[in-house]
Amino acid sequence: MKPMNVGLLGIGTVGGGTWTVLTRNQEEITRRAGRPICITAVADRDLERARQLTGGQATVTDDAFALVKDPAIDIVVELIGGYTTAKDLVMMAIENGKHVVTANKALLAVHGNEIFAAAQRKGVMVAFEAAVAGGIPIIKALREGLSANRIQWLAGIINGTTNFILSEMRDKGLAFADVLKEAQRLGYAEADPTFDIEGIDAAHKATLMASIAFGIPVQFDKAYIEGITQLQAMDIRYAEQLGYRIKLLGIAKRKINGVELRVHPTLIPAKRLIANVEGAMNAVLVWGDAVGATLYYGKGAGAEPTASAVIADLVDVTRLHTADPQNRVPHLAFQADQLTDLPVLPIEEVETAYYLRMRAADKPGVLADITRILADSAISIDALLQREPEEGEEQTDIVLLTHVAREKAVNAAMAAIEALDTVHGKVTRIRLEELNG
């Protein structure tokens, strides 16, 4: 049967991995797809690298715009990244009737609604398994494997760089800044790690998963995002003493009045499987009403793990290429005209448990004042830890875990606690999730 011709935009790490895996496993992939899938054209600014990798087996150009218009190309694989040129190329590929496979989470989290609508109009597919959690087939699982369920919530470690940093901070008791430097030296963290450490990359991925889980348009601008740059080693230690680990989680939860969509450092019970996901690994925990908890674990980045997801999409697109567009799997799991306008809730409306740490005078009545403020705000205390003061020290750290409370009430209580003469500086707040149903 006629091969599916693929045009590859970008033959860097993931593009190179895609070329390698597609070549190595060609025979098995063809048996699965029903016809050969061949990268026949590559566009890259580095022509020499592209020529070396492809060894004359594909045409090589530095004109990506010519490639997406080439009538011989059936599927465009976009691995350039970013919001601007990548968007123009994806839109042009769609306009030219090509299916698109992309790993570009930023592009889809911000412009996904426009891109999916254009694809719908043109009757082409935009597949993006590689955009979320690299090699883990989480899009497939959420969109197809769990389609019987009303998905209640999901929580994922979906950024390997920050998980590596948090694992190192815990293992070695080091400060964030020192581990970041080490991560950069080892090549785990980018030279500009902003998107990773500020939680933006995780929020892109959480946005996409939330849309597929609940059938809502992509709404990255409504996500609450807090990274790990302010996290202190002592909080990791105190959390550990209370039986918790701190992970950067992307969380999406269905509530009666809307959807919670948030990324922030989170205390989770150390006994949960997901709490033991270490280093640069990723994992996503999904709760569906029929299936209960399901957990997906694997490599969230890297050449061949991400290529694994890109090629799975190529196989899917090849299989469904001749199907009536109405009968394909919808981009966001729900039929395009069946998306709901369930709002993304502002962070003040979020309900979760909290870890609160404060530095307070070590004298009678201080704890009573603090707990009175929490009681007045109807915030119930779950656990309490007070560090033994050092010899001659007049202040101590008080750590409180609360039961589930509304963020707005916790903000007010924190302000009242900070106003006490006996409490010094700001209260450190980290959200806590039990992840148990």
Task: Calculate the CA 371 to chain-centre distance.
Answer: 36
What does the alpha-carbon distance between residue 355 and residue 198 come to, in Å, rounded to a whole number?
20
Instruction: Establish if 104 lies at the interface with ligand HSE (CB under 6 A).
Output: no
Position among 160, 199, 288, 298 found at the interface with ligand HSE (CB under 6 A): 160
Using the contact rule CB under 6 A, the part of the chain among 71-79, 155-163, 247-255, 354-362 near ligand HSE is 155-163
In 3D, which of 116, 109, 155 has the Cα closest to residue 284? 155
User: In angstroms, what is the minimal distance from the CB of 105 to ligand HSE?
Assistant: 6
3-state secondary structure 149-169: CCEEEEEEECCHHHHHHHHHH
**Catalytic one among 98, 105, 140, 205?**
205
224-225 and 423-432 strand pairing: unpaired
Enter the tokens of residue 281: 């690994």
Which residue lies nearer to ligand HSE by CB, 157 or 286? 157
Which residue lies nearer to ligand HSE by CB, 140 or 357? 140
Which residue lies nearer to ligand HSE by CB, 102 or 159? 159
Instruction: Establish if 17 lies at the interface with ligand HSE (CB under 6 A).
Output: no
Instruction: Establish if 78 lies at the interface with ligand HSE (CB under 6 A).
Output: no
Position among 104, 159, 167, 428 found at the interface with ligand HSE (CB under 6 A): 159
Instruction: Establish if 54 lies at the interface with ligand HSE (CB under 6 A).
Output: no
What does the alpha-carbon distance between residue 182 and residue 245 come to, in Å, rounded to a whole number?
21
Instruction: Establish if 129 lies at the interface with ligand HSE (CB under 6 A).
Output: no
User: In angstroms, what is the minimal distance from the CB of 203 to ligand HSE?
Assistant: 12
- Site of tokens 């998980």: 163
Using the contact rule CB under 6 A, the part of the chain among 136-144, 154-162, 291-299, 415-423 near ligand HSE is 154-162
User: In angstroms, what is the minimal distance from the CB of 161 to ligand HSE?
Assistant: 3
Which residue lies nearer to ligand HSE by CB, 159 or 428? 159
Given a contact cutoff of 8 angstroms between Cβ atoms, the answer to whether 44 and 51 are in contact is no
Position among 40, 54, 102, 161 found at the interface with ligand HSE (CB under 6 A): 161
What does the alpha-carbon distance between residue 429 and residue 400 come to, in Å, rounded to a whole number?
10
User: In angstroms, what is the minimal distance from the CB of 209 to ligand HSE?
Assistant: 13
What does the alpha-carbon distance between residue 202 and residue 387 come to, in Å, rounded to a whole number?
33
User: In angstroms, what is the minimal distance from the CB of 368 to ligand HSE?
Assistant: 45
Enter the tokens of residue 85: 């040129």
Which residue lies nearer to ligand HSE by CB, 4 or 281? 281
Q: Which amino acid is at 236?
A: I
What phi and psi values does residue 272 have, to the nearest 5 degrees?
A: -70, 145
Residues binding ligand HSE: what is the number (CB under 6 A)?
7
User: In angstroms, what is the minimal distance from the CB of 89 to ligand HSE?
Assistant: 19
User: In angstroms, what is the minimal distance from the CB of 18 to ligand HSE?
Assistant: 15
Site for ligand HSE in 296-325 (CB under 6 A): 300-301
3-state secondary structure 214-273: HCCCCCHHHCEECCCCCCCHHHHHHHHHCCEEEEEEEEEEEECCEEEEEEEEEEEECCCH
Q: Which amino acid is at 317?
A: V
Using the contact rule CB under 6 A, the part of the chain among 12-20, 34-42, 156-164, 251-259 near ligand HSE is 156-164
Q: Count CA atoms within 13 Å of residue 157 on its CB side.
A: 32
- Site of tokens 């590596």: 164
Encoded one letter per residue, x for contact with ligand HSE by CB under 6 A and - for no contact, window 189-208 reads -------x----x-------
Q: Where are the alpha helices (DSSP H) in 34-73?
A: 47-54, 64-69
Which residue lies nearer to ligand HSE by CB, 13 or 96? 13
Active site residue 299: no
Instruction: Establish if 156 lies at the interface with ligand HSE (CB under 6 A).
Output: no
What does the alpha-carbon distance between residue 8 and residue 292 come to, in Å, rounded to a whole number?
39
What does the alpha-carbon distance between residue 97 and residue 310 come to, in Å, rounded to a whole number?
19
Beta carbons within 8 Å of 298's beta carbon, 6+ residues apart? 133, 134, 135, 136, 281, 282, 283, 305
Instruction: Establish if 227 lies at the interface with ligand HSE (CB under 6 A).
Output: no
In 3D, which of 103, 53, 130 has the Cα closest to residue 305? 130
Catalytic residue annotation: 205
Give the residues lining the site for ligand HSE (CB under 6 A): 159-161, 196, 201, 300-301
